[in-house]
Homo-oligomer: A and B are copies of this chain.
Amino acid sequence: MPPIVGVIGGGQLARMMIPRAIELGIELRVLAESEGMSAKLAATAVGNYTDADTVLAFARDVDVITFDHEHVPQGVLAQLVEAGVSVHPGPAPLAVAQDKILMRQELTRLGLPVPEWASVSTPAELDEFLAANGGRVIVKTPRGGYDGKGVRVVSAASDVADWFEAGNPLLVEELVSFTRELAQLAARSPSGEVALWPLVESIQQDGVCAEVIAPAPSLTGSLADAAATIARTVVDELGVTGVLAVELFETSDGRLLINELAMRPHNSGHWTMDGAVTSQFEQHLRAVLDLPLGATDARSPWTVMINVLGGPASGTIADRYPAAFANQPTAKFHEYGKAPRPGRKVGHVNVSGDDLDDVVYRARAAAAILKD
């Protein structure tokens, strides 16, 4: 019998595991939130992932449960573990990914570099942090945010009055003066094997990852070492299993600060699908099944990933294929099976090659035609 991996969540991350599962002969089963989602080809169940009975029924007969997202409630995870289901990443590391205040606490406890931060429960506490941090700060809701949602740049407590009304503490962070954003992708298996991909640069637009350059240009060995140490510490100390992405700020004075953790395959790792010996999706499957990890070397000097955000103004991405394929025969297209909507991630393009300027040009040209 082939190994069976159950994935909770039917988005594009689950979808992009399917090709690798087919190639390795792994049976992938997806619990999708609704019909017709990105990962529908592997959806063996449709249901609510916050409902323990639904999740327990789905998890029956699988060898391991893993995730398309970090939002499965701890109560449901606890019931899975109690039922003897192998869950990767496990409830404890997932708790850290689920709550940004807990994440800051844990990273601080581990002595890892993070921006100045505080947990604030009242406008007065926020005012105090504002006063101590230059009058402009970042406020984040601890739970449920993604792609810039649940994040605001704030210069007065009244800017988040609505969030305070909910009665939960908020995370407040200094506005970091950074020169660029980097991301360190890692994978760890339950046996403790760790693999790190090359450090990449990620370019955000409106809080959404727009472009990734692998490896990060102008990379010094010490910067790469620092990022690798941070990621290795996080996965080892928190006991993360599967793929983890550490989003980092490179500050103007040359330090690295941890921005966010994603405890799953991540947009900053989509370049690996065509640019690395082992993609993050294959590695995630290997890791959660506790199989030896694959080589993470880059396959070309440069790979650039461009997100297709929103999709074309009319019609579908597939309508643009004749023009895009003809224009960029080296581009690798990844479509997510999602209806276009402004700002929505509906696909991405990877281009690899020897010359960075040329690779960037080709990737942008291909993506631009899809969005046209």
Smallest beta-carbon distance A370→chain B, Å: 11
Please tell me if the beta carbons of B292 and A25 are within 8 angstroms of each other in the complex.
no
From the candidates B19, B26, B41, B294, name the one contacting A325 in the complex (CB within 8 A): B294
Given A19-B20, A24-B333, A26-B318: 19 more A-B contacts, CB < 8 Å: A2-B316, A2-B337, A15-B22, A18-B19, A23-B334, A23-B335, A24-B335, A25-B317, A277-B332, A286-B325, A291-B321, A291-B325, A293-B325, A293-B329, A295-B329, A295-B330, A297-B330, A299-B300, A299-B352
Which of B1, B23, B297 contacts A19 (CB under 8 A)?
B23
Q: Is A336 an interface residue (CB 8 A)?
A: yes
Given known A-B contacts A291-B325, A316-B2, A322-B291, A18 and B25 have beta carbons under 8 A apart: no
Q: Is the pair B41, A22 in contact by a Cβ cutoff of 8 Å?
A: yes
Q: How far is the CA of A19 from the CA of B26 in the complex (A)?
A: 13
Contacts of A1 in B (CB 8 A): 316
A294 contact set on B, CB distance < 8 A: 325, 329-330
Contacts of A277 in B (CB 8 A): 329-330, 332, 352
Cα–Cα, bound, A372→B321 (Å): 44
Chain B residues lying within 8 Å of A325, measured Cβ to Cβ, are 286, 291-294
User: Would A329 and B25 be within 8 Å (CB), given that A299-B299, A300-B299 are in contact?
Assistant: no
Contact at B23–A292, with CB atoms within 8 Å? no
Q: Which residues of A contact B (CB under 8 A)?
A: 1-3, 15, 18-20, 22-26, 41-42, 277-278, 286, 291-295, 297, 299-300, 316-318, 321-322, 325-326, 329-330, 332-337, 347, 352
Total identical chains: 2
Chain B residues within 8 Å of A20, by CB: 19
Question: B25 and A347: CB pair below 8 A?
Answer: yes
Which residues does chain B contribute within 8 Å of A3, judged by CB atoms? 318
A137 to B322, CA, bound (A): 48
B329–A292 touching, CB < 8 Å: yes
Chain B neighbourhood of A317, CB < 8 A: 25
Complex alpha-carbon distance, A136 and B294, angstroms: 49
Bound-state Cα–Cα, A297 to B331, Å: 12
Which 4 pairs, one residue from A and one from B, show the smallest C-beta to C-beta distance? A25-B335, A19-B19, A292-B325, A292-B326
**Cβ-neighbour of A23 out of B291, B316, B326, B333 (below 8 A):** B333
Which chain B residue shows the least CB distance to A321? B291
Separation of A335 and B317 alpha carbons in the complex (Å) = 31
Query: Across the interface, which residues of B come within 8 angstroms of A332, CB to CB?
Result: 23, 277
Using CB atoms, name the residue of chain B closest to A324.
B292
A347-B299 Cα distance, complex, nearest whole Å: 23
Please indicate the chain B residues that have their CB under 8 angstroms from the CB of A337 in the complex: 2, 25
A296 to chain B, nearest CB (A): 9
Interface centre among A1, A22, A24 (most CB of B within 10 A): A22
- Nearest neighbor of A39 in chain B, beta-carbon distance: B22
**Cα A270 to Cα B295 with chains together (Å):** 20
Q: In whole angstroms, what is the CA distance A329 to B278 when docked?
A: 9
> How far is A139 from B265 in the complex, measured between Cα atoms in Å?
54
If A1-B316, A292-B322, A295-B329 touch, whether A336 touches B25 (CB-CB below 8 Å) is yes
- The reply to whether B24 and A18 form a contact with Cβ atoms under 8 Å apart is no
